Amino acid sequence: MHIVVTGGAGFIGSHFCEQLIARGDRVTCVDDLSSGHIDNIYALLGSPNFAFIEQDVSTGITVTGPIDAVAHLASPASPPDYSRRPLDTLAVGSRGTENALNLAYEHGARFLLTSTSEIYGDPKVHPQREDYWGNVNPIGPRSVYDEAKRYAEAVTFAYRRAKNVNGGVVRIFNTFGPHMRAEDGRVVSSLIVQALAGNALTIYGSGKQTRSFCYVDDIVRALMIMIDCDEPGPVNLGNPEELTIVELAELVCEIVGCSVPMTFHPLPTDDPQRRKPDIGYAQQRLSWTPRVSVRDGLQRTVRWFASRPDDVSAAAARLLHLRT
According to DSSP, the β-strands at 242-244 and 210-212 are antiparallel
| Contact criterion met (CB below 8 Å) for 68 and 110 | yes
User: What is the DSSP secondary-structure string of 154-181?
Assistant: HHHHHHHHHH---EEEEEE--EE-TT--
- Residues facing 215 on adjacent strands: 176
Rounded CA-CA distance 302/254 in Å is 11
Q: Say which of 82, 105, 120, 145 is annotated catalytic.
A: 145
Q: What is the largest CA-CA distance in the chain?
A: 57
Does the annotation mark 145 as catalytic? yes
Instruction: List C-alpha distances in Å: 17 to 2, 7, 112, 233, 239.
Output: 11, 10, 14, 22, 22
| Peptide bond between residue 234 and the one before it cis (omega within 30 degrees of 0) | yes
Q: Which are the catalytic amino acids?
A: 145
